[in-house]
Amino acid sequence: MKPIVQISLDLTHIDEALETGAMALRAGVDWLEAGTPLILAEGLHGVKKMRKAFPGIPIVADLKTMDGGYLEAEMMARAGATHVVVMARAHAETIKCVVQAGRDFGIKVMGDNLGCSDKIAAARRLEELGCDFVIHHIGYDERRGIAARGERMPSPLDQLREVVEAVQVPVQAVGGLSLEQAILCPAYGAPLVVLGAPLTIDADAFKTADGNLEGALRLICEKVHAGGNS
């Protein structure tokens, strides 16, 4: 799979999300993510507005589904999402329901190992239950809490190679990646590169980060895409 760059729109206002999404696409980003804060703030209407504004662009709905899997996936598919996210810590039946909805409505399912004590085993379980992608995820609260105690902040690169080797489906690394780390992901075997806080989204205010964001995104996209062709 060729490298794909996805921007996580972890914002709370749809107008800002649409503006940031348009800028990201100009810079070369391939996929847009309706982040969990955006879905909580705007719901299905936000995803519908994204679909209207960006026809033909893959849209990931980061639902973090834990229950009611079929209905949640169906609702997002009908709103225009092309990918939905279910948690590895959900019951196996919930994951199966999301996978079935994905097949019924023609969308892809991404399984997220956030919060799992054994992230490698969780990745295998997600693949076995039918997920199309695995998200190897170090959470926002986990990162910040550990850093606040003065300890080394965990990175999704820590076990990324092991997760990639454990499954056959494409893997995505998520959780506070720096610019340099994001560019390295394809070299670890993870072709889906996600850009979010703090690189593109202010990690405290949940708004678009200050500075030359479009220029930074363009640089990342060029390096990631070139790496896939070398």
The answer to whether the beta carbons of residues 133 and 126 sit under 8 Å apart is no
164: its two tokens: 């990639």
How high is the pLDDT of residue 205? 43
Q: Within the chain, where are the H helices?
A: 14-27, 36-53, 69-79, 92-105, 119-128, 140-148, 160-166, 179-184, 213-229
How high is the pLDDT of residue 131? 98
How high is the pLDDT of residue 229? 47
For 107, residues 6+ apart whose C-beta sits below 8 A from its C-beta are: 73, 76, 77, 81, 82, 83, 84, 101
| Domains parsed from the chain with CATH numbers | 4-229 (3.20.20.70)
How high is the pLDDT of residue 178? 80
Per-residue pLDDT tens, the chain, 230 aa: give them: 899 999 999 999 999 999 999 999 999 999 999 999 999 999 999 999 999 999 999 999 999 999 999 999 999 999 999 999 999 999 999 999 999 999 999 999 999 999 999 999 999 999 999 999 999 998 888 877 888 888 887 888 999 999 999 999 999 999 878 888 888 999 999 999 998 755 554 444 434 555 678 888 888 899 999 875 44
